[in-house]
Chains A and B, each alone.
Chain A
Amino acid sequence: MCAALSAAAEGASVAVLECAPLEFRGGNSRHTRNLRCMHDAPTQFLTGAYPEQEYFDDLIRVTEGNTDEELARLVIRESRDCAAWMMRQGVRFQKPLSGTLHLGRTNAFFLGGGKALMNSYYATARRLGVQIFYRAEVIGLNFATGKFESADVLLNGESTQIRAAALVAAAGGFESNLEWLKEIWGDAANNFLIRGTPYNHGKVLKLLLANGATPAGDAAQFHAVAIDARAPKFDGGIVTRLDCVPLGIVVNNAGDRFYDEGEDLWPKRYAIWGRLIAQQPGQIAWSIVDAKAEGKFMPSVFPPVRANTIRELATGLGLSADAVEATVTRFNDAVIPGHFDFAKLDDCRTRGLAIDKTHWAQRIDMPPFCGYPLRPGITFTYLGVKVDRNAAVLANGGRLASNVFAAGEIMAGNILGKGYVGGIGMVIGTVFGRIAGREAACYAR
């Protein structure tokens, strides 16, 4: 949508092909809530300063260097103007949400979240005369002599062809395409939940790659967090997350622990738990906490399984009572007394276990005991197409075509080859959307 708005502002005549029906328009942006912004001084919605180098260092840390520095620095610098541009499109911002105060310096929050933001974009697009087609699925791209000519589209199920002077591909990754996920992960993919839109099938991505576009980002990787196993298969969004992992222990279906739950502060660790659980048998695990944890984490949408003994809890969770009881007993016996402080890396730990819990380890001994089932919840896939600083899609060292551009999740892998840092997805989408729209409009003139 950023590309559409930017192209329309440049005077181009724009049509948006949205695969989803109106109610579910806007891809994964619908589930977002903030934007990571570089800034040198406090703004209306951001505290302190977040200079370019610190932003870049954060990006290098999470991607472990899997980034294109030129494009990354471009995104970071342009992120400074994103909020102002968004406000001109009718987007409103607010103070950080409660429970996210640690992001108040780096991230600007959309009033009402990502769907409110998308509603503003669609309303502005309507005013600018942008045509929006819903239930419009791109099934073919036609090229001739180094140029994109037209797209084959299923519009409300009927086949049609749409010609255009330029194309901006902003169609997301392939995380909702179960067949594609199975090609990589086998039957384990049946047990993955998709946190966002069911419409990111990666069809446009596949078409671009089939036409020779250079891939960017790891083809086999996805970003996944641990979410409640009872979440819907698609579109569960923010409310299915579970933040209680570091407050207790996590066991697999054999009743065994498999990773240090207290390795680091939760905001720095939540994103590894999706993969950890994906590697467990049956792609499932259970977080077990006792009464001491209540009120210390954001309430989750599904009620926990509660019991007054560990054996009862294990049975309630469908696990072996003997195995879970043995795990909890071993864990409790290994806990070293310390001063519990959930706000920092405290000195509560276990000693002598095969897998020690290194912080916030407290005996699990105060009923009622609570258990939450966990599954990997996929946020997005990393595979995309390589672009240059003008958002042009690349192939064999040059451009795929003179008039094909990309923005958003479909090219995020250029900058985010691995990992994630909150609010950068929206920045990549906005910055490259604006560039792609401008370049496409320029070309169309």
Chain B
Amino acid sequence: MPDDLAREGERVMTICNSCRYCEGYCAVFPAMERHLHFTEADLNYLANLCHQCGECYYACQYAPPHEFAVNIPKLLAETRAGSYRKYAWPSAAFGFNAMVILAFSLLLAALAARKNSPGDFYSVIPHVVMVTAFGAISIFVAAALAIGFARFWRESRESVKGLAVMDALRDVLALKYLDGGGEGCTYPGEDRSRARWWFHQSTFYGFLLCFAATSVAALYHYVMHWRAPYPYLSLPVALGTLGGIGLVIGPAGLYALKRRQDPMLGKPTDSSFIALLFFSSLSGLLLLVFRDTPSMRVLLIAHLGIVMAFFVTLPYGKFVHGIYRFAALIRYALEQKRH
């Protein structure tokens, strides 16, 4: 963390800690109150509890142009961006250009493609090639994310306990802190709205449904020995379609909100993660609709290329917010139980 950001973090947190008017808003403030001083690790922890919603900024009697110039969402957004890079493995890979990866993935998919017979995905790219490529990438991605989690967690000097994980999981699944206690958050601007909660839930559960679709399909393939493509009303296709729709609506909505974000809340984060999510699901849905036409070949290449780029960039983009936020919420639950 740059020295001036660390100093600014300590300065602003000291002001907040003497005021405490915001402690009813979210987990950041009760967590902050357990400290008298703020190390880099503490600031990274607080930053990953923050959703940049703006409630505390709009409510702050010390917000600029007051000379104390307190702006927590902006400060923690900058801190958070630094923390993503710091805990990433390898750190230097964080934030590399997703478009370059995408072009490369598309090229690879195109090179692997063969002539095909309509309606048969594996005649374009053999099943074994798909499974090997995505299997290898998945293992790498899972390892990179696990190392990121471990690097973040080590600084908490806490040991994981099951009950705290359950609490954190509940907060994640309900997106508790994105909800403003039921009335929504002051995001993207000062008027409260639940739009972000809905779009994020659509994205999150869309992602889970697509994951479930892939898992069921793997089961069909290896256990039942049923070959894709599966009928429209089969379980994997139904799950994937629902998930895909969620993953089109969610990221599109989040992007629209991000475009309207109050500039005082800090710079919006890089959009390549939600762009890849959006185009993965859009190309997947198109593939489903046109799978029995000659366009299938090019759609499949595009879909697999985009999905591969999405997976490869997973540990090095906005996706990691979920990992660190989850870890931060576990730490928060542990601290709550002690106090």
Contact = CB atoms under 8 A, between A and B. Distances in A.
The size bracket of the interface on A is: 20 to 34
A31 B61 contact: yes
Contact of A237 (B19, B23, B56): B19
Contacts of A92: 181, 183
B230 interface: no
Contacts of B25: 111-112
B137 interface: no
A239 B59 contact: no
Interface stretch (A150-158, A216-224, A297-305): A297-305
Contacts of A300: 18
A150 B173 CA distance: 58
B18 A301 contact: yes
Interface centre among B15, B17, B61, B183 (most CB of A within 10 A): B61
A119 B18 contact: no
Interface stretch (B62-70, B195-203, B231-239, B280-288): B62-70
Contacts of B20: 97-99
Interface string B122-148: 000000000000000000000000000
B171 interface: no
A95 interface: yes
Contacts of A140: none
A116 interface: yes
A332 to B, nearest CB: 27
A142 to B, nearest CB: 34
A280 B66 CA distance: 30
Interface in A104-154: 109, 111-116, 119, 123
Nearest to B64: A23
Interface string A215-258: 00000000000000000100101110100000000000000000
Contacts of A235: 61, 66-67
Interface centre among A23, A237, A238, A239 (most CB of B within 10 A): A239
A157 B68 CA distance: 27
Interface in B29-70: 30, 33, 36, 55-56, 58-68
B272 interface: no
Given A119-B190, A299-B36, A238 B21 contact: yes
Contacts of B169: none
Interface in B187-216: 190-191
A23 B66 CA distance: 9
A99 B17 CA distance: 11
A187 B90 CA distance: 64
Given A97-B21, A300-B18, A301-B15, A112 B55 contact: yes
Contacts of A239: 15, 18-19, 62, 68
A30 interface: yes
Contact of A116 (B19, B58, B181): B58
A112 B36 contact: no
A113 B36 contact: no
A24 B68 CA distance: 13
A201 interface: no
Contacts, number: 79
A238 B67 CA distance: 15
Contacts of A116: 21, 55, 58-59
Contact of B33 (A95, A98, A237): A98
Nearest to B17: A299
A299 B35 CA distance: 10
B14 interface: yes
A33 interface: yes
B275 to A, nearest CB: 34
Contacts of A352: none
A88 to B, nearest CB: 14
A238 B60 CA distance: 12
Contacts of B61: 30-31, 113-115, 235, 237-238
Contacts of B36: 295, 299
Contacts of B183: 92
A31 B181 CA distance: 23
Interface string A76-112: 0000000000000000101101110000000001011
B89 to A, nearest CB: 36
B223 to A, nearest CB: 53
Contacts of A99: 20
Interface in B55-100: 55-56, 58-68
B24 A111 contact: yes
B18 A238 contact: yes
B24 A237 contact: no
A33 B65 contact: no
Contacts of B24: 94-95, 97, 109, 111-112
A379 B63 CA distance: 20
Nearest to B339: A98
12 contacts: A94-B23, A97-B23, A111-B24, A113-B61, A115-B59, A115-B60, A119-B58, A232-B68, A235-B66, A298-B18, A299-B17, A301-B15
Interface of A: 23-24, 30-31, 33, 92, 94-95, 97-99, 109, 111-116, 119, 123, 232, 235, 237-239, 241, 295, 298-301
Question: Which 7 pairs of residues, A with B, have the shortest CB-CB distance?
Answer: A113-B21, A112-B59, A94-B24, A116-B59, A239-B18, A301-B18, A111-B24
Given A114-B21, A238-B21, 5 more contacts: A97-B20, A112-B21, A115-B58, A116-B55, A123-B191
